[in-house]
């Protein structure tokens, strides 16, 4: 049995079906949808309001039902979690003061003195009730499979303040998953909808005003003393305002003018903020990845075709175009830091940029070039590259570049733009060849649904991938608790890349700009316990 307990810092992230988990992760929705940031001028710690810009209204804030990135980021200021993940990927304490785990169980000891905002104690009974509520498919919580294992059953021991979670299937990251579980007192589970625009806070802030589409105001809980590593609310700003600012350039203007105190800025406005020396913190996220449709009858079901298509492309050039030169070659397939397993599973595992090698691969597989176009059995090699327009003009330009390079090589290639929600419909519908579809998750086992198992409508294996090495290695990894399985998880990830089932292209930093504050960020946004007022 692996056992651990720790001290500082924090982080976060299914309807009863896996399609909701896909909505949360494909295209990095959870990791990048929210905009967070700073504080007003230099008043001392705990001073006047800090104004955050958010790119969209959060929709429901109900902690057991919310899935939008904006809502998750906002809720992290109101609801604590059992454990947190430090920047180095290690598990550290939260509401749980100690814990132990196997690959199919975990036990947490709850700190004494933790309360919800109405003053009622947060107990082991409350935590067990929330686990069982989310694990019950009839409640259709999108957190099932993300923060709570699908087969979880929880029991509480009031005397020892312990919660024991067991599963019938391997759940190797049951402890790490718990850092994505926003804790609330049991009585709130009876009516989750009541928390759509309210809080039953177990964390440092409570919601006092909600004006959908405009702003949300939170006030500090002065008696909060159970933060990461035993931290308390003394040094946190006294009030937070989340202001909806849909346009990124507008958010940058407001930030420069001092009318808001922080925002996520990922486009061209970064240049003027950098020139003005506005400070930022960043979190790295996969922003470009090719997924191939390997269903019977698709040209990309042929591994020789996939290898040839990749060899034709200058991936470094594509990465630069897609990010305006601000990205770097991807080293992972979507696990967003902080994550327990962070090894490089991409470098050296993709086909080299070599058109001669591409031609040889196709020729060996029975393709021949006729009239400038590759063909086999009388059918030309034709592929469409689907991509979400919501990722901006730079990604659209990178897609056009890929299409040009394939066309020059003799492939009948075309770009297939879709909306951000339409790309999921396209992948689920099956009528596609290649897709620009980066996936962002917190833990490596959360990727198995996308790269193994049944395709839609029975599952989320959009590309109909059948990779025996990935399946074998992932099963071996799932039998080991936590980070002890990282070497196997990383080997499983690498098997997907080597077989050209996926092609991770580029990652880029998600930048959080702020004035008058200091803070740290992770894959879910600003880390609440690190937010401080500062001069400037």
Question: Helix-strand-coil percent breakdown of the chain, rounded to 5?
Answer: 30, 25, 45
Distance (Å, whole) CA 321 – CA 308: 21
Whole-number Cα distances in Å, 104 to 169, 173, 425 = 7, 9, 34
The confidence score (pLDDT) of residue 24 equals 37
Sign of the four-CA dihedral 395, 398, 402, 408: positive
Task: Measure the N-to-C terminal CA separation of the chain; round to a whole number of Å.
Answer: 49
Low-confidence ranges of the chain (pLDDT < 70): 1-47, 420-421, 536
HSE-CB for 153 with a 13 A CA cutoff: 4
* Residue 12 confidence (pLDDT): 30
Which element (helix H / strand E) includes 359?
Answer: helix 355-364
The answer to whether the CB of 516 falls within 8 A of the CB of 261 is yes
Considering the segment(s) 2-279+515-533 as one domain, its CATH architecture is 3-Layer(aba) Sandwich (3.40)
Partners of 220 in the β-ladder: 205
Contact 310, 361 (CB under 8 A): no
* 360 CB neighbour count, 10 Å cutoff: 14
Domain topology for 286-508: Dipeptide-binding Protein; domain 3 (3.10.105)
Q: Are 323 and 506 in contact (CB under 8 A)?
A: yes
Rounded-to-integer distance, Cα 380 and Cα 391, Å: 30
Provide the token pair at 384. Answer: 């469409």
> What is the DSSP secondary structure assignment for residue 144, as one 8-state letter?
B
Is residue 262 within 8 Å of 39, Cβ to Cβ?
Answer: yes
Helix (H) or strand (E) holding 4: strand 2-4
Going by the DSSP 8-state scheme, the letter that residue 335 receives in this structure is B
Inter-CA distances, 506 with 337, 342, 443, Å: 15, 16, 19
In which region does residue 334 sit, left (phi positive, over 0), alpha (psi from -120 to 50) or beta (all else)?
left
User: What crossing angle do the helices spanning 315-323 and 393-409 adopt, rounded to 10°?
Assistant: 160
Distance, CA of 81 to CA of 203 (rounded, Å): 8
- Which DSSP category does 442 fall into? S
CA distances from 29 to 147, 210, 523 (A): 16, 23, 11
Q: Which tokens is 326 given?
A: 């601000």
- Angle 125-218-50 (CA atoms, 0-180°, nearest 5)? 135
- Please tell me if the domain spanning 2-279+515-533 has the same topology as the one spanning 286-508: no
Cβ-contact 183, 127 below 8 angstroms = yes
What is the C-alpha to C-alpha distance for residues 131 and 314, in angstroms, rounded to an integer?
Answer: 47
- CA distances to 142, 241, 282 from 17, in Å: 8, 34, 32
How many Cα atoms are found within 13 Å in the side-chain-facing hemisphere of 366? 7
* Residue 495: partners with Cβ closer than 8 Å, 6 or more residues away: 467, 469, 470, 473
* Angle at 435 (CA atoms; ends 340, 393), nearest 5 degrees: 95
Residues 375-423 pLDDT 10s:
999 999 999 999 998 888 999 999 999 999 999 999 999 999 997 667 8
How many beta carbons lie within 10 A of that of residue 132, not counting itself?
18
Q: What is the CA radius of gyration of the chain?
A: 24
- CA 399/CA 322 separation, integer angstroms: 8
Residue 22 sits at the vertex; the CA angle it makes with 505 and 199, to the nearest 5 degrees, is 115
Q: What is this structure's pTM?
A: 0.83
The domain spans of the chain are 2-279+515-533, 286-508
In the numeric block, the tokens 């992230």 are attached to 13
Distances (CA, A) of 64 to 60, 68, 98, 111: 10, 12, 24, 22
Q: What is the pLDDT of residue 420?
A: 65
Task: Give the pLDDT confidence score for residue 479 in this predicted structure.
Answer: 94
CA 362 to mean position of chain CA atoms: 36
């Amino acid at each position: 049995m692996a056992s651990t307990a720790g001290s500082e810092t924090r982080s976060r992230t299914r309807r009863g079906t896996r399609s909701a988990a896909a909505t949360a992760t494909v295209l990095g929705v959870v990791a990048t949808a929210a905009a967070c940031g700073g504080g007003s001028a230099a008043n001392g710690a705990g001073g006047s309001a800090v104004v955050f810009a958010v790119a969209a209204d959060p929709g429901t804030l109900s902690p057991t039902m919310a899935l939008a990135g904006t809502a998750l980021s906002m809720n992290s200021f109101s609801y604590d979690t059992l454990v947190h993940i430090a920047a180095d990927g290690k598990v550290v304490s939260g509401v749980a003061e100690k814990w132990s785990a196997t690959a199919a169980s975990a036990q947490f000891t709850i700190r004494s003195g933790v309360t919800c905002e109405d003053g009622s104690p947060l107990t082991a009974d409350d935590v067990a009730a929330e686990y069982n509520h989310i694990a019950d498919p009839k409640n259709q919580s999108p957190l099932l499979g993300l923060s709570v294992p699908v087969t979880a059953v929880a029991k509480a021991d009031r005397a020892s303040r312990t919660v024991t979670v067991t599963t019938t299937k391997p759940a190797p990251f049951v402890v790490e998953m718990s850092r994505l579980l926003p804790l609330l007192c049991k009585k709130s589970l009876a009516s989750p909808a009541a928390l759509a625009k309210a809080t039953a806070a177990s964390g440092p802030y409570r919601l006092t005003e909600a004006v959908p589409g405009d702003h949300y105001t939170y006030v500090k809980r002065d008696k909060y003393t159970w933060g990461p590593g035993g931290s308390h609310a003394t040094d946190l700003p006294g009030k937070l305002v989340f202001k909806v600012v849909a346009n990124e350039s507008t958010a940058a203007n407001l930030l420069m003018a001092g009318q808001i105190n922080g925002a996520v800025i990922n486009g061209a406005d970064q240049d003027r903020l950098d020139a003005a020396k506005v400070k930022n913190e960043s979190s790295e996220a996969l922003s470009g990845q090719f997924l191939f449709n390997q269903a019977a009858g698709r040209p990309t079901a042929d591994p020789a075709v996939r290898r040839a298509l990749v060899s034709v492309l200058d991936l470094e050039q594509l990465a630069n175009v897609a990010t305006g030169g601000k990205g770097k070659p991807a080293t992972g397939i979507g696990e967003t830091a902080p994550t327990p397993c962070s090894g490089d599973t991409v470098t050296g595992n993709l086909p080299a940029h070599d058109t001669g090698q591409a031609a040889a691969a196709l020729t060996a597989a029975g393709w021949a070039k006729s009239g400038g176009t590759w063909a086999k059995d009388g059918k030309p090699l034709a592929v469409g590259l689907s991509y979400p327009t919501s990722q901006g003009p730079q990604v659209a330009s990178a897609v056009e570049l890929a299409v040009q390079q394939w066309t020059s090589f003799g492939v009948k290639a075309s770009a297939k733009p879709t909306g951000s929600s339409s790309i999921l419909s396209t992948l689920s519908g099956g009528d596609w060849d290649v897709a620009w579809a980066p996936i962002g998750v917190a833990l490596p086992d959360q990727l198995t649904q996308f790269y193994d198992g049944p395709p839609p409508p029975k599952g989320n294996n959009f590309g109909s991938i059948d990779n025996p090495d990935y399946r074998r290695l992932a099963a071996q990894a799932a039998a080991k608790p936590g980070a002890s399985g990282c070497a196997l998880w990383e080997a499983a990830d690498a098997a997907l890349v080597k077989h050209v089932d996926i092609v991770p292209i580029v990652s880029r930093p998600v930048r959080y700009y702020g004035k008058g504050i200091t803070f740290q960020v992770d894959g879910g946004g600003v880390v609440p316990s690190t937010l401080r007022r500062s001069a400037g």
